[in-house]
């Protein structure tokens, strides 16, 4: 079976081609980068619409298949930005009807976990998923992926990007903050907010911006302190989940997984608990169509089906609302 996976929850429009043996035949994408400020949902959706055919054709060419070889269409049904989700859902529906093949909507967060498990061979990890739009600690139990901790306000990737933007740095801000942070080891005290098993980054962001503007603290020192504080909260909550579940695998996914300091902190924590750390290649940590295609195949093989009229988008589709019949 060959599945065509469409990703389009935010800034990335991706098309992946995956077969039922877990081989990624193609994984093409186009990323919207705003001229200024953060992501503008309508502009991102317009870019997705403009590039959809080009990316689809590139994926089919890379996979060396024709549209007649496609057996299933999967798409990111949520969570995400409404205008972007609608654009991708419309493209997926049109292709499903045209090719007369089944269609399945996939949860974006679950797809990050499943492509990570596929690429790294992880069996049953505690997953730290950190991106521009999501921050969650996830582990499988009782037929669903349970959220053991999550942000109560903004995702960490959004926090880093907003901080960089307020300082006049271009989007995306995360890599630029990381580079600045590497130039300092001077830790400045900033708000450390862990509330039970959940996290909050809005106060950390506000105080970091205030101290830069009002106190003139060196940018390198502030970037280092922001990273250390935020990553420490992530590590604490992930460690609690590992201790509670007694799982012996930890996986780091999402765009922020590219940060070397975060990887180091999670690796040290995992080692202390006798757990193995898995980090998929960055191509599959970032938003991509292959993860949607693979999760679509898993769902289809488990017997899940959808009618076209049931493929409406779900902007706030929570990870723990999704039944996972392909795992035992």
| 133 labelled binding-site residue | yes
SS3 for 57?
helix
DSSP 219-263: HHHHHHHHHHHHHHHHHHHHHHHHHHHT-SEEEEESGGGG-HHHH
Q: Scanning the structure block, which residue is given the tokens 């499943």?
A: 114
| 121 labelled binding-site residue | no
| 174 labelled binding-site residue | yes
Q: What order do you get walking across the sheet with 2-7 strand by strand?
A: 24-31, 12-19, 2-7, 72-78, 103-107
Q: Scanning the structure block, which residue is given the tokens 């999550």?
A: 150
| 287 labelled binding-site residue | yes
| 178 labelled binding-site residue | yes
| 259 labelled binding-site residue | yes
For 83-105, b/e burial (b = at least 16 CB within 10 A) is bbbbbbbbbbbebbeebebbbbb
| 208 labelled binding-site residue | no
| 130 labelled binding-site residue | yes
CA angle 85, 201, 134 (to 5 degrees): 25
Q: In angstroms, rounded to a whole number, what is the distance separating the alpha carbons of residues 316 and 1?
A: 30
Q: Which two tokens stand for residue 321?
A: 């609302």
Q: Is the distance from CB of 29 to CB of 84 less than 8 angstroms?
A: no
| 132 labelled binding-site residue | yes
| 171 labelled binding-site residue | no
Instruction: List binding-site positions for substrate.
Output: 129-133, 161, 174, 178, 259
Instruction: List binding-site positions.
Output: 108, 112, 129-133, 161, 174, 178, 259, 287
Instruction: List binding-site positions for Fe cation.
Output: 108, 112, 129, 287
């Amino acid at each position: 079976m060959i599945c065509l996976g469409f990703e389009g929850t935010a800034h990335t429009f991706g098309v992946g081609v995956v077969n039922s043996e877990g081989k990624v035949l193609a994984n093409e994408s186009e990323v919207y980068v705003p001229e200024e400020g953060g992501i503008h949902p309508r502009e991102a959706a317009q870019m997705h619409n403009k590039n959809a055919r080009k990316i689809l054709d590139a994926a089919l060419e890379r996979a060396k298949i024709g549209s007649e070889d496609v057996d299933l269409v999967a798409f990111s049904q949520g969570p995400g930005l409404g205008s972007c989700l609608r654009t991708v859902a419309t493209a997926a529906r049109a292709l499903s009807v045209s090719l007369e093949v089944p269609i399945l909507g996939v949860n974006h967060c679950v797809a990050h976990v499943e492509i990570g498990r596929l690429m790294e061979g992880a069996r049953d990890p505690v997953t730290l998923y950190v991106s521009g739009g999501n921050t969650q600690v996830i582990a499988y139990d009782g037929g669903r992926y349970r959220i053991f901790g999550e942000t109560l306000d903004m995702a960490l990737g959004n926090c880093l990007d907003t901080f960089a933007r307020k300082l006049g740095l271009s989007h995306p801000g995360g890599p630029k903050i990381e580079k600045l942070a590497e130039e300092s080891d001077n830790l400045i005290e900033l708000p450390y907010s862990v509330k039970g098993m959940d996290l909050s980054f809005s106060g950390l962001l506000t105080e970091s911006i205030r101290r830069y503007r009002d106190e003139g603290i060196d940018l390198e020192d502030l970037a280092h302190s922001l990273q250390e504080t935020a990553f420490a909260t992530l590590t604490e909550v992930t460690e609690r989940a590992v201790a509670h579940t007694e799982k012996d695998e930890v996986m780091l996914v999402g765009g922020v997984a590219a940060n070397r300091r975060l990887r180091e902190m999670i690796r040290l924590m995992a080692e202390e608990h006798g757990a193995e750390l898995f980090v998929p290649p960055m191509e599959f940590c970032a938003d991509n169509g292959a993860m949607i295609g693979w999760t679509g195949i898993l769902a289809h093989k488990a017997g899940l089906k959808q009618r076209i009229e049931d493929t409406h988008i779900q902007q706030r589709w929570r990870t723990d609302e999704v039944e996972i019949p392909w795992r035992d």
